[in-house]
Structure 1
Amino acid sequence: MTITLTDEPTKAPVPARGARRLTPLFFARHLLRLVVSLAVLVVASFAMIHLIPGDPLRHMLGPAAPKELVDARRAELGLDDSLPAQFVHYVQQVFSGDLGTSFFSSQPVSDIIAQGLPNTLALAVLATGVALAVAIPLGLWAAVRTHQGRRRGTETAFTTLTGAAVAIPEYLYGLALLLVFALGAGLLPPAGLTGPASYVLPVTALSIAPAAMIARLARVETLRELDTDYMRLAHAKRLPVRRLYAVHLLPNTLTATLTMGGLLLGGLITGSVLVENVFAWPGLGQRTVEAITQKDYPVAQAMILVYGALVLVVNFLVDVALGVLDPKSSLSAPTRQEG
């Protein structure tokens, strides 16, 4: 691809001969992969309750419950049917939105998910946005400062600090932020969702490690772009710094960075479980931990299904977005060469 430097705003490049473009066939392949992955997820979530040692009904009703009561409850839930019949019934429930009933609260699992999912997604999306907003300028700055081996001290500090930030689990950030800013200084709410200020600590805890990871990637991508011919030409033309970096350099470093951001969104959805428990956040995380500790199998089963489906859908959307942003991605196919 040839990138021409002018004083006009950067426009989307027109695919040259032999370029690659999105095709319905490649889109259909990724969609088929998503459908197959979701089918495997449904099978795995169904198998979970049958692979766990012990009798979940006996645990729910207590060891002293009469056998007749346990058998009646098992028949009521359809657990005395054959395994294929149970699977067919489970698939029908999933597609109808009926994910069962909690053993302990007798609340429909679909209601539990409907109440907590928006709050979990809000945390994940905000944390991804904050991570990108911090990481991209930081990575760009670090690359420009350390280009061609300059400022070894800055490079060492950047790699050391970001490496350490990635290594620390999110829930430890949450505990530290809770102790310092909520319980210590009393500046922010320590728990629950009481207003916009309640988002600050959990979003910060979730975004630190992803921001460090994306910043490292952004620096590598920026260093690669700084050594290209079009950037050398830009320097030779003595373009203003703002135009040089914001208009010409930044757009060409964003594809891999935004792809990583999209993948991290899927990870943050599942990774928010422990952070939500630290801040008593009314999302799916707290209910997931409760379901596991209480052996509330219908709720735990549904959480596996929901978290897995969210990650798969996010990854699919990232693939599609990458195909739109990067014509050389696996979602695109070569166009016919012009003779």
Structure 2
Amino acid sequence: MNLPTRILLDTNVWSAFARDGVGPDLFRAVKTAGATLVVPPLILYEALATPSAESRRHLVSLLTMRTWKRLMPEAYTQCLEIISEIRRLRPAWLRSQPDMQRFTKQRYDWTRKTGGLWERARFRTEETGTFLGISDGWSRALLEQARWGSQEQRRLVHSQGVRAIGPLKNFTATFPGNSPEGMGNEPFQLWRVSTWSCTRKALEISRHPYRDWLEPFLDFDLIECSEISWNRFWLREIAEAEMPRLWLQWAFEMLQSTQKVTPGTPGDAALSNYLPECDLVISADANFIRNVERIRDDAPFYIPDAAHVPAGSGMVAETLALIGGRKHQKPKASL
């Protein structure tokens, strides 16, 4: 059975179509190719942060067309992976009676065809941006924290004299001081340390999206009393092939640590979460496309094709050609 090609466009490509007012051309190209255009919430968040009110309205209107396939937030899919691994390795941490009503209500707001968040963004754009804290609320705080983290990571790597990242397979490290309780001093795979640390920090924040998606299923009181088991779960036992999104975010952040940090750097790392949900990703960001290609040989799971389109007046035509099946253009190697 041949399934439609799933295509993911970066924000810069969506912006070009909205700016030129050629959304109908995109719709026809996708329909003619028999493809599916997938839209992550991350792209919608970035659109809602567009400074110009008119540009914001055009971009959000294009993104929220019902014909596209609307994806779930990256926190949701990451948490499903965490729950799946807990079910496999630590079933005792699961609630005997999950709060499915709460979980279903949250998910329904993202998946419903009418009346949900996507429709509110389309018809009540300013109100939705305020509700999501895009400019000065919770979402903005998380973005600023991620930007600060990107800068700190780059400074740390640079201070250690690292100028390039080698193969990501079996990338190991040790803790500078004592290892977490019960873990010994043997080296750890670095992606495990990163996911262990990030998850711990996220769960310490009461309003973090992780808590929204995990709390209906997990007994946090029991987990808090199982520190050694929790450490072993993350640092030794979870399988990277079963947590592709967390691995991808770590891999992108590692590669970005030797690259120029821009305001969009955290967004690129977050966008990598959606690579398992597409067959082709198109972007005008050469570094993003190079990073997708860079991880292809190291990732223990499927990585989609990646195509670079030139910024400027030719971006729309090049994207339409790619959707129509023309050979992908790869960015030139970095100097």
Whether these two folds match at TM > 0.5 is no
Higher strand fraction (1 or 2)? 2
TM-score under structure 2 length normalisation: 0.28
Higher helix fraction (1 or 2)? 1
TM-score under structure 1 length normalisation: 0.28
Q: Which has the higher contact order (CA 8 A, sep 6+)?
A: 1
